[in-house]
Amino acid sequence: PERVLEIDYVFKIVVVGDSAVGKTQVLGRFAKDEFYFDSKSTIGVEFQTRTVTINRKSIKAQIWDTAGQERYRAVTSAYYRGALGAMLVYDITKRQSFDHVARWLEELRAHADNSIVIMLLGNKADLTSKRAVSKEDATEFAEEQGLFFSETSALSGENVESAFLMLLEEIHGVV
């Protein structure tokens, strides 16, 4: 007989950040269970899931992607509704994408729950020769804003798994 996996919790996670920073690639690296895309949806959202075990509990991460709505203030409040965690992604080679992190934080704070756990991700960490944002600047900013922080590469996979697990563990801890 087919084994049915019991799910203890479903955690909604949203991924935000400027266009082309690698949000979809980062998400694709981590979530390989299912792919959901509602092409008829007026809000045009999509999500992918992956189930992990934390403290013997089976946790399904339902991770939402912006699907090309990254223009400032174009992401609707429905996208943020019920989110327990957020990955706020910038590109370490694009200074502007880091400068816009403050705007994305405003959006999260305006539309998401106060208790949302936010992790800042400096993606494309494999492109070190084109680096435009230092790890020190990002670490300092994250500390000031009370965010978790990691540099990732969706290309090599570096730190992607650990960043999502850290976020999920933190949410699990505070649930």
Q: Residues 6 or more apart from 18 whose CB is under 8 A from it?
A: 70, 90, 91, 94, 96, 97, 100
Min separation Cβ 110 and ligand GDP, Å: 21
Min separation Cβ 66 and ligand GDP, Å: 7
Token pair listed for 121: 């991700």
Residue 20 in the binding site for ligand GDP (CB under 6 A)? yes
Comparison of 26 and 112: residue with beta carbon closer to ligand GDP: 26
Out of 24, 123, 150, 159, the only residue in the binding site for Mg ion (CB under 5 A) is 24
Q: Are 49 and 37 in contact (CB under 8 A)?
A: no
Residue 159 in the binding site for Mg ion (CB under 5 A)? no
Scan for tokens 């600047």, then name that residue. 137
Residue 126 in the binding site for ligand GDP (CB under 6 A)? yes
Residue 152 in the binding site for Mg ion (CB under 5 A)? no
Out of 54, 155, 165, 166, the only residue in the binding site for ligand GDP (CB under 6 A) is 155
Q: Are 68 and 18 in contact (CB under 8 A)?
A: no
**Residue 167, beta-bridge partner list:** none
